[in-house]
Amino acid sequence: MIVIYVDADACPVKDEVIKVATRHALPVYMVSNSYLRNVSGPRVQCIVVSEGADEADDWIVEHIEAGDVFVTADILLAERCIKKKASGLKPTGKEFTTENIGSTVAMRNLSTHLRETGEISGQNKPFDKKDRSNFLQSLEKIIQYNLRHKAD
């Protein structure tokens, strides 16, 4: 069975994950460093890990298996999950794959360096309705694909 893991501390699509997971009767782990209010569903478990930069990431990586699905904006967590043959999405609906994770990590590292040296500044664009819609479509697509191929 497919399990969905959500890096939940700042995730804007928790409700959407629960909606899609409920439709497919899939278990969901919402992993965070603090208690999450108003997060519930028939197969949703909230996991609160101890404080620390990578505690939630480490918990997810320890439990995720091939064919499972993860949701995170954390590119380094995505890289670790992809290595375990899991499928994943950013909250905007962009899919993390074995084909794009290397260049995604490289761009993250370059952007971090440019921000640290003052070459660039700025913030990410605000999360909007189109991102939410893209996320729902992408999550459904990944779940459908993994349901067909999990037994392979």
Reported as a single tens digit per residue, the pLDDT across 39-55 is 888 899 999 999 877 89
pLDDT of amino acid 103: 74
Q: Is the pLDDT of residue 139 over 90?
A: yes
Q: pTM (2 decimals)?
A: 0.87
Q: Which two tokens stand for residue 33?
A: 């460093």
Q: Which residues contact 68 (CB under 8 A, 6 or more apart)?
A: 2, 3, 4, 5, 86, 87, 146
pLDDT of amino acid 6: 97
Pick the closest to residue 45 from 147, 149, 59, 139 (CA basis): 59
- What's the pLDDT band for 26 if we cut at 50, 70, 90? very high
In the chain, DSSP finds a helix count (H) and a strand count (E) of: 5, 6
Question: What value does the mean pLDDT take over residues 28-35?
Answer: 95
Question: What value does the mean pLDDT take over residues 50-79?
Answer: 93
Q: Percent of the chain, pLDDT > 70?
A: 92
- What's the pLDDT band for 109 if we cut at 50, 70, 90? low
- What's the pLDDT band for 11 if we cut at 50, 70, 90? very high
pLDDT of amino acid 101: 75
Question: What value does the mean pLDDT take over residues 80-95?
Answer: 95
Contacts 24+ apart (CB under 8 A), 100-103: 101/75
Residue 22 DSSP SS3: helix
What average pLDDT does the chain have? 89
